[in-house]
Amino acid sequence: MSHWITKTAVYHIYPLGFCGCERRHEDASPNPVNRIEKVIEWIPHLKNMHMNAVYFGPVFESVAHGYDTTDYKKIDIRLGTNEDFSKVCKALHDNGIKVILDGVFNHVGRDHFAFKDVQANRQNSRYCSWFCNLNFGGNSPYNDGFWYEGWNNCYDLVKLNLNNGEVVDYLLDSIKMWIETWDIDGIRFDAADCLTNDFIKRVHSFTRSMKPDFWLMGEIIHGNYKMWANPEMFDCVTNYQCYKGIYSSHNDRNYFEIAHSIEYQLGQYGDIYMYNFVDNHDVARLASQLKNPEHIYCCYTLLYMMYGVPSVYYGSEFGIKGQKGHGELADAEIRPCLELDSIPLRNDKLMAHISALGAIREQLEPIQTGKYSKMELKNQTFMFKRELNGNEVYICLNISDGDYTFNFNTKYSRLADRLSGKQFDVNNGNASITVPQNGSMILVDDALPKPAVTVSEIKTEAPKPAAPAPEVKAEEPKPVVKEEAPAPAPEIKEEPKGTPSAGIPEGRKIVIGGHYKHFKGGDYVVLNVAKDHETLEEQVVYMQIYDKPTVWVRPLKMFLEDVNDHGNIKPRFALVSD
């Protein structure tokens, strides 16, 4: 398979949550608020992770959560304007990052212009045929005086009639605008199993006529994936089968489950390049699913090393938690607003691990498109091989109660682990490699060119807001080659944390019990000032008083300082009231 997606790792953002938007459109300001440019601040972080595509959840005008679209050609005012999004797409493209949008084509929100016209004009509306199963002799749960089909019995989502040529032309014209205006590179189709095959085929041929390498991915939960992923329809589908297999095989300490899923899919679907993930905007975060937190590293190794494109849901690279809830706020915990310089309980070890996996995947073509074959499989240990053009990569996973030694045959005289940088001698083609408990290795021919630095040298400090690509490139130091140290990944550079400091104004003091507002938004109350037990440095203990109450700790000097926010000097935390 030859397509840009094979060299890609996807970063999945749910923009309305990521940007801290109001939950409903009616609660927002009538004027657009430019929140979407926040993505630009994360570009250095994405590059450090070797992410080369961003999949945006819904960005278009909607009633509430984005999947109830009201205007396919207008960015939601809670996120900004079309021009604001143009800047984001350009910045991503300038940094070599593709743009994928969420296409919600099965249904619209109740405030969509065509449905509003039906509400106003009833049988006389020219848009009656745009919707499925209108019945003016019945009634809806909203007491419209007529009945209509809602998606999955959800009447906030009015089902479109995709057998109507006018509807299809309207949607294709919207896609045309996305490609011409933002030069998008792909679309993820929401509720793809509810779409008609003819519609999918029309979109396929239409987008290919505009961009030959355009990429289409369908959201499919169950079923025979080949029904939707084929040369006339989608390039791939969401791999929910392996999503479940990854976390449950670790929870049950039973690698037979995920190994079976991988082999079944390769047998059934051949070279269909699956969209692989361990969590997303609809399910609990991986860190909340695992019984043993230490298994998270092997989960991500498996995600990156199996056949298909790996996707990371925003924030999960830091191991943040989030459970699926109930009722109106069911998704709030898995769709949070995140600031890169204040990720709650961030796991930088995991961040470095995923960054290394991204670099390794970029370097090793067998991982991108190579053949898969199982080498050793037990309940708590798993070894498989990826091979392309005679080049072999061995992946070893160990979740047993201690270190485990894999014994296997190899044609190489010496092996190197791209994750740890360790080298191993091979005795007459017989390798004996010991993998630590809850650890993984990615073994390659030690004669391959070595990356510039070892994983242990990867820096994970939160990066500063992104500059346009030319400036970023100009500031990149040349890699330092360490002759004696084999290495798994290119350098991930440390950049200043958050927004550059502008110092503490004279006389500014902390107010215990004071109400403060962060310069990026969000209200907090200072609870106390404590001392670090080891360094005796003074730390501010403060509580977030919006969304879910959360207690934070930050150095006093950092709390009180002014920051340089894109040329504007302002307090990091401004005192609102004593």
pLDDT above 80 for 487: no
Q: Is 200 exposed, middle or buried (0-12, 13-18, 19+ CB in 10 A)?
A: buried
pLDDT at 308: 97
Beta-bridged to residue 54, according to DSSP, are 11, 99
116-139: average pLDDT: 97
22-29: average pLDDT: 95
The pLDDT-based confidence of 456 (bands split at 50, 70, 90) is: very low
For residue range 241-254, list pLDDT tens digits in order: 999 999 999 999 99
| Of the residues 130, 161, 192, the one at which a domain ends | 161
Tell me if 416 is assigned to some domain: yes
pLDDT above 80 for 492: no
458 and 508 share one domain? no
Tell me if 544 is assigned to some domain: yes
- Sequence-ordered list of residues with C-beta below 8 angstroms from that of 354, at least 6 positions apart, any chain: 49, 300, 304, 312, 317
380 and 435 share one domain? yes
CA distances from 262 to 4, 218, 231 (A): 22, 19, 22
545 and 457 share one domain? no
89 sits in which H/E element: helix 82-94
The answer to whether 113 and 69 have CB atoms below 8 angstroms apart is: no
| Of the residues 441, 458, 475, the one at which a domain ends | 475
Tell me if 138 is assigned to some domain: yes
Tell me if 496 is assigned to some domain: no
465 and 533 share one domain? no
Tell me if 42 is assigned to some domain: no
CATH of the domain at 434: 2.60.40.1180
400 and 470 share one domain? yes
393 and 427 share one domain? yes
530 and 447 share one domain? no
509 and 544 share one domain? yes
379 and 453 share one domain? yes
471 and 528 share one domain? no
455 and 537 share one domain? no
Q: Which amino acid is located at 370 in the chain?
A: G
Q: Can you give the residue range of the structural domain that contains 511?
A: 501-577
pLDDT at 576: 87
CATH of the domain at 111: 3.90.400.10
Tell me if 461 is assigned to some domain: yes
530 sits in which H/E element: strand 523-531
CATH of the domain at 517: 2.30.30.320
457 and 382 share one domain? yes
Distance CA 310, CA 84 (A): 28
